[in-house]
Structure 1
Amino acid sequence: MKMYTLGAFVLLAIALGVVMTVVDGLLDMLSVSDAVGKIPIIGANLTVAVSIGLIWVLDVSIIQNFTGEMRASWVHIVVDGVLVAGMIPVKNAVVSAIEKGMRA
C-alpha cells in the first residue's frame, strides 16, 4: 500500500467527521434523530451510510487502484465508503499522535 493511499483515507475520514457533525446537527434540529436511530440497519450504521454517500458524491475510487474493476461500479463506492468509515479509529490515532508531538 502506498503512503498516499493511507493519507487519502485519513483525509476522507476527517471529512466524514465534519459531514457527520452537520448531519447530526440537522437531525437534531429537525427533531428526527431518535426516529432515524430506530430505523433497522440504517440507524445503527448511519456513519457508514453517510460515508458511502460521501464517496458517491465526491466520485472517488481509491480501492480500484488495487483491485481493478469489480463486477459492478457500485461495489467500488460501497467498499471505499466502508473503508473510510473504518478509518475513523486510525484518524483518531493519527490526530492523537500529532497532538502529543506538539506538546513535547
Structure 2
Amino acid sequence: SLYGNWAWRISDFYAHFGYQNPMTAYVMSKVDEFKPRSPTGVSDWEMSLERQIEFYEYLQSKEGAFAGGATNSYEGRYETPPANLMNNTFHGMWYEWEPVYHN
C-alpha cells in the first residue's frame, strides 16, 4: 500500500495447495530481519501462516496426499453451490477437486 496500512492483498476465487508458501509466511512473521515495518505486517503474516497450515489440513486426504483446492465461485459465476458442497467448507469456500481447470 502507498499508505502503509496493509501488508498484502490478493484476489481470486480459487485457492489450491500450490498457491501456498508457509515457509515465506514463517520467515516474514518470525525472523526479525524479514519482518515487515507496516503496522499490521507481522500479524498479517502470522495469520497467513496459521491459515495456510489450516488449509493444508483441510486438503490433506486420509491417505496423506494433498488434493484439490477451494473456491467461492460455483461454476465460475459466483452462483450458490448445491447444498452437498456446503457440508465441509474452508472459511466459507467449498472443496474443488480441479481448481481453476473448469474456467
- Indicate whether the TM-score tops 0.5: no
Q: Which has the higher strand share?
A: 2
Q: Which has the higher contact order (CA 8 A, sep 6+)?
A: 1
More helix per residue? 1
> TM-score, normalized by length of structure 1?
0.28
